[in-house]
Amino acid sequence: MSVQETKRDIPKALLSFFASRLPEQSSQWAIAMLAELEALTGTKERMDWAISGSWGLARIWLENSFRTLFFNPVKPLPVILISAYHATFCCVLLYVIVSQLPHVTSSWTEAFFPFLFMVFAATIPGVIALGLWVLDDSARYLAMVFSLLHGLGNYALLSTGRLPWTPRPTGRIGMDVLIIGILALPSIRSAFRTPPINLGLDS
Amino acid sequence: MAVDIRISQQTVLVVNALLLVRSGWRYGYDLSRETGLKSGTLYPILVRLTERKWLESRWEQADGEGKPRHMYRLTADGRRAARAFIERAGSKATALRLGYARS
């Protein structure tokens, strides 16, 4: 059995990995690259072909994602608004963290990791916003979980008397419930399963 | 057909290689060897050319034992657009350096 036919065919495995990341219609280009790889015999030229091809497929994937990000015509308005809400939330959290920096009294060796953790936590809504913007279904789930946790957290603070029953925290809970409800709607769910952009080979 | 492909040296090389064969189909690897471009550079260019209908493609059985390979050639419109592209890309010096024949 030749090297190409074994499961340890590294060039083929590498190229196949990146090929699997492409949407179905674009993946035909990856199949074309894999077919050429099959025709090559030299170890070095096969590896060169696979490494460079992987980079090329990554570029095609990036171009696809870029188009989806900015030119997707089927993005529902509620998703745009929820995405903007999360992006704003992220910016506000980051602003609050940065504005507190001058008031840090402990040494930086102590404050660094808590600061890093807070920045990481603050970027979560930003990641959700980006995911919603590109209609990533996992971002939809993450947004619902995030809203659920956020709403429960606020409710816990209200019910234990650590927050007064004022319009702001109750409004935030209402917003969380609304986000979960909207993102669970069948029409919104279906928008997160858009067909891939056609980059097919058939001319 | 509008010439709306960004002129890069790599694209000129690929278009030039496709133009040099009047009616033949080309394998991706052959194009790669002829142009000196690696697959990661070549295929995104082929994607763009195909999107603009300059290229047509088909699968071909290489031989009795070989697996099918994908082949490319310029369409009639693509050939005209490619000539315009080369002219636009090129100064005569560039075209000569790349070995482009007008015939």
Which residue, among A121, A188, A117, has the nearest Cα to A153 in the 3D structure? A121
For residue A63, the chain B residues in CB contact (below 8 A) are 44
Q: Kindly report each contact of residues A76-82 with a partner whose C-beta sits within 8 Å and lies 24 or more positions away, as own/partner.
A: A76/A187, A76/A188, A76/A191, A78/A182, A78/A188, A79/A132, A79/A133, A79/A135, A79/A183, A79/A188, A79/A191, A80/A133, A82/A132, A82/A143, A82/A179, A82/A182, A82/A183
CA distance A201 to chain B (A): 7
For residues A202 and B57, give the distance between their C-alpha atoms in angstroms, rounded to a whole number: 7
- Kindly identify which residue of chain A lies nearest to residue B55, measuring between CA atoms: A203
Interface of A with B in 140-199 (CB under 8 A): 199
For residues A148 and A133, give the distance between their C-alpha atoms in angstroms, rounded to a whole number: 20
Cβ–Cβ below 8 Å for B43 and A40:
no
Indicate the pLDDT class of residue A139, thresholds 50, 70 and 90: very high
CA distance A22 to chain B (A): 13
Residue-wise pLDDT tens digits, B25-79: 899 999 999 999 999 889 888 988 888 889 998 888 656 666 788 899 999 888 8
**ipTM, 2 decimals?**
0.76
Q: And the tokens for A96?
A: 């609050």
User: With 60 as the cut, is the pLDDT of residue B102 above it?
Assistant: no
Whether the CB of A29 is below 8 Å from some CB of chain B: the reply is yes
For residue B50, the chain A residues in CB contact (below 8 A) are 201, 203
The model scores a pTM over 0.80: no
User: With 60 as the cut, is the pLDDT of residue A3 above it?
Assistant: no
Q: Where are the beta strands (DSSP E) in chain A?
A: none
Residue-wise pLDDT tens digits, A22-75: 777 677 788 889 989 988 888 899 999 999 999 888 877 777 777 666 666 677
* C-alpha distances out from residue A196 to A28, A132, A186, B76, Å: 13, 16, 20, 29
Whether the CB of B47 is below 8 Å from some CB of chain A: the reply is yes
